[in-house]
Amino acid sequence: MSPSLPEPVQERPDAKAQELQKAFDVFNQVSQELTQAYDALQGRVASLTAELAVANGELRRQYKEKEALSERLSLLLNALPAGVVVLDSAFLVTEANPAAKAMFGQDLVGEGWSRVSGQALVPTGAPDEWQVGSRRVSIAKSPLDSAGGQILLVHDITHAHEMKANLERNQRLAAMGEMAASLAHQLRTPLATALLYSSNLGKPELAPEARTRFADKATEQLKRLERLIQDVLLFARGESIGREAIPVAALVTEAVQAVEPLMKRHGVDFRVEAEVGDFIMMGARKAIAGALTNLLENALQVVEGRTERPPRVLLQARVSEGRCYIAVSDTGPGIAPEAQARIFEPFFTTRGQGTGLGLAIALGVARAHGGTISVRSRPGEGSEFTLELPAGPASQFVVES
């Protein structure tokens, strides 16, 4: 009798229902989580969309503001009376406003600045000032750090230059009017002396030695008259600054060589301290050298023959921050405060044989070159006159290219 097979286990219907229910519950939970995640994602998308809209609106606003600013700047550049030239790192003109184009008479964009400046700019002798046709212009440079180029601001200073020249001329004319009476007195004294000596030359009984002495005296007074008239004409005419490049070291050497023999002859201890390197100044070499020599000769005259203090003259020269300072100091008697206030006035002098025009002319030369002369002095302690003039390296007086 064969063994009987086991009967298959029959799952209960309620167990299957429970499993299906569990699976359905899991599906519902996952579905809910997906729905929540989708809702959250939609919320995030909406938030990002809103943020993007705000950002786009801000960008549009900034763009419109920058566009308006660019338009205003363009209008401003076009309306500026000064010329504006923008150079790139290769010194090619990338932008130029109408004023710059009118000054240089050509379309500058794309041209090399070295070629434009070489054709249009004529040096005037003053740093950063040039002649463009009938105009006088000054050029100021500003670097463009981000691009490595430059912005050139070209000012038309023709009117200001003319006003300055007219003012200086009017000041000289006013000074000439004020010194007319003094001039008459200055001319009368040597002229009367010369006439007196000349009248004695006609006496037949005059000894040859006396005749020679009177002739020399008359000639001396006539030369004094001639020097006085030359100084007056020089003061009235004024000095042009010229266009000559003058090495400061050479100027100092020239002045030293002119007065050093006189210093030695009168037993004056003359010392020079100059640290000027290879700096230069622009102007009339003869006029500036004459002004410096005048200061040195004045110092020599106040120390010679004095016994209370060793006669000493010191010349010091230095260049600092675009200015040359040449100081002449002495161990003379000094200048009284009331005299210092008038020391540069025409015909004011504390010496009997002086014309009183030397310092006035020297000051005029200094001012014509954009400088000045100052004085420091205390009675009994000597004096110091300082000639101050613009100076710098040679590249300062040439537009960079």
Residue 400: per-residue pLDDT: 41
Phi then psi dihedrals of residue 15, to 5 deg:
-70, -45
CB-based contact 346:220 (threshold 8 Å): no
Q: Which CATH architecture has domain 162-238?
A: Orthogonal Bundle (1.10)
Give the side-chain half-sphere CA count within 13 A for 252: 26
- Please give the model's pTM, rounded to 2 decimal places: 0.50
Q: Give me the CATH code for the 241-401 domain, please.
A: 3.30.565.10
The closest of 330, 390, 397, 341 to 366, measured between CA atoms, is 390
- Residues 333-372 pLDDT 10s: 888 888 888 888 776 776 655 556 778 878 888 887 888 9
Residue 190: per-residue pLDDT: 72
Residue 399: per-residue pLDDT: 42
Give the side-chain half-sphere CA count within 13 A for 359: 23
Residues of the chain with confidence (pLDDT) below 70 = 1-13, 70, 73-80, 106, 125-127, 145-147, 172, 175-189, 227-228, 230-243, 307, 347, 350-356, 395-401
- Residues 189-209 pLDDT 10s: 677 777 877 887 778 887 888
Residue 16: per-residue pLDDT: 79
* Fold of domain 80-156: Beta-Lactamase (3.30.450)
Residue 318: per-residue pLDDT: 92
Q: Is 279 left (phi over 0), alpha (psi -120 to 50) or beta?
A: beta
The closest of 238, 268, 244 to 256, measured between CA atoms, is 268
Q: Domain locations in the chain?
A: 80-156, 162-238, 241-401
Give the C-alpha separation, 372 to 387, whole Å.
Answer: 6
Residue 171: per-residue pLDDT: 73
Give the C-alpha separation, 281 to 289, whole Å.
Answer: 12
Q: How far is CA 262 from the centre of its chain?
A: 36
Name the residue type at position 1: M
Residue 401: per-residue pLDDT: 40
Torsion over CA: 288, 290, 296, 302 (sign)? negative
| Mean residue pLDDT across the chain | 80
Residue 389: per-residue pLDDT: 92
Q: Lay out the sheet containing 312-320: strands in order across.
A: 269-275, 312-320, 323-330, 383-390, 372-377
Give the C-alpha separation, 357 to 86, whole Å.
Answer: 49
